[in-house]
Amino acid sequence: MTRSIEFFDQQFARSASAAALVLNPFETLALPYLHGEVLDFGSGMGNLAFAAARQGCRVTALDASQAAVAHMQQRAAAEALPVRAELADLRQYRIDADYDCIVSIGLLMFFDCSTARKVLGELQRQVRPGGYAAVNVLIEGTTYMDMFEPAEHCLFTATDLQQRFAGWDIVQNELSEFEAPGNTVKRFATVIARKPG
């Protein structure tokens, strides 16, 4: 288990509280675009996955945190919602289907940059024509580093995502900054884009 997976697994094991199950701002931004078959790649506790399922989507939710996946499996059964949750290390995961929408919020920065870029390309390829990708990453200027593996993380530039979605119809393109523990900051880029066709 990497440092980042351990960090989140411990956090998720402590936090099935109502507050932890509220959508974060990036999930809130993505939700209106989600339809049909949705892949949530690095889903955490599945807050977005369940909100999408409640609006009619069939969702596959993948994460490497056992606590998060166990929580999602129990919740899917309890609420009878079409959320299929699976444990997976997404650094070397092969996506074997196409999706109407693929979401990856707050994941790619935990991979080394070469893996992060390769995985982003794979996510883009597996979106069906006319479908949406919603991607959010931490970017340069982030100073909260506690959750990172020192030798294995990637801070994108502020314009990386936007450039990677050249040729797509970019419907949301946001930079945001939040205070973090220890007088540090987290800076994020979020792009939501529609694949041509």
User: What is the nearest approach in angstroms of ligand SAM to the Cβ of residue 40?
Assistant: 7
43 binds ligand SAM (CB under 6 A): yes
| Per-residue binding letters, 48-87, with ligand SAM (x by CB under 6 A) | ---------------xxx--x-------------------
Confirm or reject binding of residue 99 to ligand SAM (CB under 6 A): no
Strands 184-194, 169-180: pairing is: antiparallel
The answer to whether residue 8 forms part of the interface with ligand SAM (CB under 6 A) is yes
Residues 126-145 that bind ligand SAM (CB under 6 A): none
- How many residues at the interface with ligand SAM, by CB under 6 A? 20
Q: Applying CB under 6 A, does 106 fall inside the site for ligand SAM?
A: yes
CB of 69 to ligand SAM, least distance (A): 9
- From the list 70-78, 100-108, 118-126, 179-187, the region that binds ligand SAM by CB under 6 A is 100-108
Long-range contacts of 77-83 (CB under 8 A, 24+ apart): 79/50, 81/50, 81/53, 81/54, 82/53, 82/57, 82/58, 83/46, 83/49, 83/50, 83/53, 83/59
User: What's the CA angle centered on 115, arms 20 and 92, to 5 degrees?
Assistant: 75
Determine which residue in the list 58, 91, 117, 118 makes contact with ligand SAM, applying CB under 6 A.
91
Answer yes or no: are the C-beta atoms of 5 and 65 closer than 8 Å: yes
Phi, psi angle pair for 144, to nearest 5°: -85, 105
Among 31, 102, 105, 137, binds ligand SAM (CB under 6 A): 105
Residue nearest to ligand SAM (CB): 44
Among 53, 107, 108, 189, binds ligand SAM (CB under 6 A): 107
Task: Give residues in contact with ligand SAM (CB under 6 A).
Answer: 4-5, 8, 24, 26-27, 42-44, 63-65, 68, 89-91, 105-107, 110
